[in-house]
A and B are shown apart, each in its own frame.
Chain A
Amino acid sequence: MMSWRTLVSRLAPLLACLGLLGIWQIGALILDTDSFPTAIDALRAVPSILTDKESLINILASLRRMAIGFGVGVGLSIPLGLMMGRSRAVASFFNPLLMITYPVPKAALMPIIMLWLGVGDLAKTLVIFLGVSLPVVFHSFQGARAVEEKMLWSGAAMGLSAGQRMLRIVLPSALPEILIGCRTGLVLALITMITSEMIARQSGAGNILFNALDMGQYDTVFAMIIIVGAMGIGLDAAFEQLRKRLVRWSEPRFDLPLSFS
């Protein structure tokens, strides 16, 4: 029998969402303007977007770019970060480059990238890639730097070569930290995905959103925001499940308190 307390804490996220929608609904009814549809109108527009073939193709195109940008970003950033963490020379070579690019909003590079690569998939995927890379490099670097020297020595005594130590000691040992970077990277991928589509309007979820805005279809605008938000929450929760499974062995200090899963 579930106690009253656990029931409340289980239902708390749901109650919070309902509360937010309630405030939205009431606020929209009071303000009563075209540019602020009620929560019910916005929610009603969600299924019509998700059943429209054109919109679905757009959203899937977005997700495909995001997946490629994220995959390539993670695939290149983890080895780079790990090498930076273990080699002073590599770190001092890449550190200034990363420090310069760190504060630049990746979407601000979009105009230049569009100039070079056009407004197609390549430009947008590249921006997503850039957005994902920094947090993953940073956390991989931190993780690799924190690897216990004695652990590497133990491996060396067993006969592991420098390359094997990197792959079989530094990588798993840094994995909890790497995955924290990947989680940030995943959310950033979603954000840069939408921003890139705002700037290079051609296809994608961001494109639907801003086209609807141009045409004054405000319920579609808000419905798209709900869809993008839900995608973010869903992806983050799914990734969190995967992360927990991969680092079951790790000390609890790597558990993140903030999670929807």
Chain B
Amino acid sequence: MIEISGVSQVFQTSGRQSHLALSNISLTIQDGAFVSILGPSGCGKSTLLYIVGGFVAPSQGTTRVKGKAITGPGPDRGPVFQEFALFPWKSVLGNVMYGPRQQGVSSAEAEAQSRQLIEMVGLKGFEHFYPKELSGGMKQRVALARTLAYHPAVLLMDEPFGALDAHTRTRLQNDLLNIWERDRKTVLFVTHSVEEAVFLSDKVVVMTRSPGRIKRIIDIDLPRPRRRAELLLDPHYQKYVVDIEGMIDDTSEDELHP
């Protein structure tokens, strides 16, 4: 369980001004839930994810994972970034093996596990390629495998498909769901795409623009496993998308007429 309570984040901007990025966020995420944080750009949704990851310390408030206060990054929370952040000097296999090796898994075992993961994300045959030789979608597959390799209890995904073209994006969404169905890790998924959030999540957290506040939390009550083709025709799915899009529009209205 992830408990975020009373988290605020203030950034010092140039000069002596400060900018309130997150304001009093409280949120509880159950184990095994797929939760998306949705909001316009600049609403601090990524910052919230970085706070849970322990990469950024909040100005106020506390975050706990399984009852333990977060003081820094740790292998129980695995990030996947929009920028992939692969190690360019390591091959695909080297990247995926990095975490397990760091955790003290023997070389042979880490390699065997990593090869399996690489196959699972659909990159069999690319084990010895360097990141620069891969397309964006392939890089993100490697990044996902690299994070899954050290068995984090929570996946922190920061607009992971934001830099990909529409086609690649849909394929990766499907594959992510298939992978997630196997072991149902807790996933915190930041996105600005309403369809993506509804398609993937159990719960969608809609945030307002700066300062970032939680506007609504919507339970997505759609059956799993989800099939994209079925879902797109499902009126329930369509209603969720339209409703949530309306909420985001409201958010922009607030911006225009405060």
Contacts and interface: CB of A to CB of B under 8 A. Distances in A.
Interface residues of B, number: 30
Contact of B89 (A148, A157, A158, A173): A173
B81 interface: yes
B78 A173 contact: no
Contacts of B78: 157
A46 B28 CA distance: 80
Contacts of B42: none
B236 interface: no
Contacts of B72: 156
Interface in A219-255: 247-251
B103 A159 contact: yes
Contacts of A173: 87-89
Interface in A148-195: 148, 150-151, 153-154, 156-160, 169, 172-173, 175
A172 B75 contact: no
A158 B150 contact: yes
A173 B132 CA distance: 13
Given A249-B130, A251-B132, A157 B85 contact: no
Interface in B42-79: 50, 53-55, 72-75, 77-79
A99 B98 CA distance: 39
Contacts of A153: 50, 53, 55, 73, 79, 81, 85
A248 B133 CA distance: 11
A9 B224 CA distance: 63
B73 A156 contact: yes
Contact of B85 (A148, A159, A175, A248): A148
B83 interface: yes
B40 interface: no
B87 A157 contact: no
Contacts of B39: none
Nearest to B133: A249
Interface string B118-158: 00000000000011100000000000001100101000000
A150 B83 contact: yes
Given A153-B79, A158-B98, A158-B150, 5 more contacts: A154-B81, A157-B73, A159-B74, A159-B75, A249-B90
Top 9 A-B pairs, shortest CB-CB distance: A150-B85, A156-B73, A158-B99, A249-B130, A172-B89, A150-B81, A151-B85, A157-B73, A158-B102
Interface of A: 148, 150-151, 153-154, 156-160, 169, 172-173, 175, 247-251
